[in-house]
Amino acid sequence: MVQIRQHLVSAAVSIKVTGGRKNARRKVCIHETDNSKNGSGADNHARLQANGNSRQASWHWSVDDKEAVQSFTHDWQCWAAGSTQGNNKRSKLKCV
């Protein structure tokens, strides 16, 4: 069974790596880590975001084989698509 929990990014960090609290909530982007290095699971990816991700990128959830960690509530417009249109519509991403 996969554990589900929150490790929410602070508002101070969120405003630097998101489009703000204007997500239409039609879809959310889930970051599947697909990183098999020791210690690189969902928890570390969530901590990366909470500690101020060095990239201007963000995603709502990090998932590995043990847990799913929510970094942003769904009202935050995350920057995962690489384009304004993609971040607004998510039309070309495999997001749910």
Please tell me the predicted confidence (pLDDT) of residue 38.
84
Q: Quick check: 91 pLDDT over 50?
A: no
Pairing assessment for the beta strands 61-63 and 67-70 based on DSSP bridges: antiparallel
pTM reported for the whole predicted model: 0.81
Residues 6+ apart with CB under 8 A from 21: 75, 76, 77
Whether 34 is covered by a domain: the verdict is yes
The reported pLDDT for the residue numbered 93 is 42
Contacts of 77 (CB under 8 A, 6+ apart): 18, 19, 20, 21, 22, 23, 87, 88
User: Which pLDDT value is given to residue 6?
Assistant: 97
Q: How many domains does the chain have?
A: 1
DSSP string computed for 62-91: EE-SSEEEE-S-TTS-B--SSSHHHHHH-T
**Mean pLDDT for the chain?**
81
Model confidence at 94: pLDDT above 60? no
Report the DSSP beta bridge partners of residue 67.
Answer: 3
Residue 72 inside a domain? The answer is yes
For 40-83, the pLDDT digits (tens) are 889 999 999 999 877 788 888 888 888 999 999 988 988 877 77
Q: What is the CATH number of the domain that holds 56?
A: 3.40.80.10
Alpha-carbon gap, residue 17 to 55, rounded angstroms: 8
Domain with 84 in it: 3-89
Domain annotation covers residue 37: yes
Q: Is residue 74 part of a domain?
A: yes
| Tokens coding 81 | 């698509």
What pLDDT does residue 9 have? 96
